[in-house]
Amino acid sequence: MSPKTSSRLSASNVSQQRRPSQTTARSRPTGESREALASLTTDAPGTTAINGGSVRTTGTQTYNDNLTLGAATILTTTAGGDVTVTGAVNAGANALTLATGAGDATLPNASNNFATFGVTNGNDVALRDANAINLAAANVSGTFSVTAGGAITQSGAITVGGAATLAAAANAITLTNPGNDFQGAVALSNSGVANNIAIRDANDLTLAASSAGGTLTARAGGTITLAGSLGAGAAGNSIVLEAGGNFDNSGAFSLNTGSGRWLVYSSNPSLDNRGGLVYAFKQYSAPIGTAPSVPATGSSTPSSRPSLRHCRAVPRRSTTARLPRRPARSPFRLVRA
């Protein structure tokens, strides 16, 4: 390992294995003053082992070899440096957290194996995982890209300032933390009719072109906007869009449900832009989650007399995110096609 300054590496225990017969190691006692390196670069081939703690640099961290984690690890750049790991990361059961500030993070190796991955702060973040991945709290100011060979789940709220892309092959995507805030367009994809996609946003949510093998459910505290067509392969309620605000399809995108149907909840039908979507019925004063009052196999011809339900439109309560407060007879709309 060849740091570009004479400062010692600020992790608890770090070693690099260059050859089967040669290992170099660096370590420092926990609690010792930790001066950030100017930058850090490791050589390939070989393996760098980080046995927990924090690796801190002001500039870039570039790992050209494989990287293993022996305990929970934080990679930090204090002056906007990037973190790049071209080799495979084997985190085992240990969490990896990035704190790159204005810097980017790129971990593109298809053999990566993360357990829990979080971002304290960072600009553009892109990673791949051969297996399932749990996303801890993340605060990404730029774009966020996650490609996994297993399920994508979360254990903390995710904030993304730019576009987000999440792909999980033939596995589920479940991002339903009520504190999520996706400020750019979100693209979601998986395959297999048994694998569903669910996403939630505390505020407005923009959905880019997305495809679910099973059901696709999106819930927002504000407006749901389509920036691309959506597709889902499940029968029944195939696509369900639940907007605490309104529904905006001004781009005239399609909702493709195969043998299923789509349901769109919104707070004020007169403010929606359906973009040419043809619905079979309207159901007023139906809070999010209300079951349609018509059979799932009902006609796909638009109804001339919308069904009315005289119930209170009471938004769900949440300690983290609330839907906008509405009058007792607010016309939540439920449409089907």
Residue 119 maps to a domain: no
Tokens encoding 314 = 């009471």
Q: For residues 293 and 307, give the distance between their C-alpha atoms in angstroms, rounded to a whole number.
A: 8
Last residue of a domain, which of 82, 99, 116? 99
Residue 28: per-residue pLDDT: 36
Residue 10: per-residue pLDDT: 37
Residue 158 maps to a domain: yes
> 308 and 220 in one domain?
yes
Residue 263 has pLDDT above 80, yes or no: yes
Residue 320 maps to a domain: yes
Residue 2 has pLDDT above 80, yes or no: no
Q: Which residue has the higher pLDDT, 198 or 323?
A: 198
Q: Which residue has the higher pLDDT, 1 or 61?
A: 61
Q: Tokens 């190691």 — which residue?
A: 25
Residue 117 maps to a domain: no
> 56 and 167 in one domain?
no
Residue 158: per-residue pLDDT: 98
> 211 and 140 in one domain?
yes
Residue 288: per-residue pLDDT: 78
Question: In total, how many domains does the chain have?
Answer: 2
Per-residue pLDDT of 101-130, as tens digits, reads 999 999 999 999 999 999 999 999 999 999
Residue 120 maps to a domain: no
Residue 295: per-residue pLDDT: 59
Residue 121 maps to a domain: no
| Segments forming the whole domain that contains residue 66 | 1-29+36-99
Residue 331 has pLDDT above 70, yes or no: no
Give the confidence band of 64 by pLDDT, cuts at 50, 70, 90: very high
Residue 289 has pLDDT above 80, yes or no: no
Q: What is the CA radius of gyration of the chain?
A: 24
Report which DSSP code applies to 290: P
> 288 and 229 in one domain?
yes
> 163 and 22 in one domain?
no
| Strands of the sheet with 22-27, listed across from one edge | 22-27, 13-19, 47-50, 66-69, 89-90
Residue 49 maps to a domain: yes
Residue 125's closest CA among 141, 106, 111?
Answer: 106
Residue 75's closest CA among 43, 99, 108?
Answer: 99
Last residue of a domain, which of 76, 99, 122? 99
> 263 and 206 in one domain?
yes
Q: For residues 169 and 148, give the distance between their C-alpha atoms in angstroms, rounded to a whole number.
A: 7
Beta carbons within 8 Å of 22's beta carbon, 6+ residues apart: none
Q: Would strands 22-27 and 116-122 be described as parallel, antiparallel, or unpaired?
A: unpaired
pTM, two decimals, is 0.82
> 175 and 42 in one domain?
no
Give the confidence band of 34 by pLDDT, cuts at 50, 70, 90: low
> 169 and 81 in one domain?
no
> 144 and 256 in one domain?
yes
Q: Under a CB-based contact definition with an 8 Å cutoff, are residues 152 and 130 in contact?
A: no
> 177 and 93 in one domain?
no
3-state SS of the chain: helix, strand, coil percent to 5? 0, 45, 55
Residue 106 maps to a domain: no
Per-residue pLDDT of 203-213, as tens digits, reads 999 999 999 99
Report which DSSP code applies to 329: T
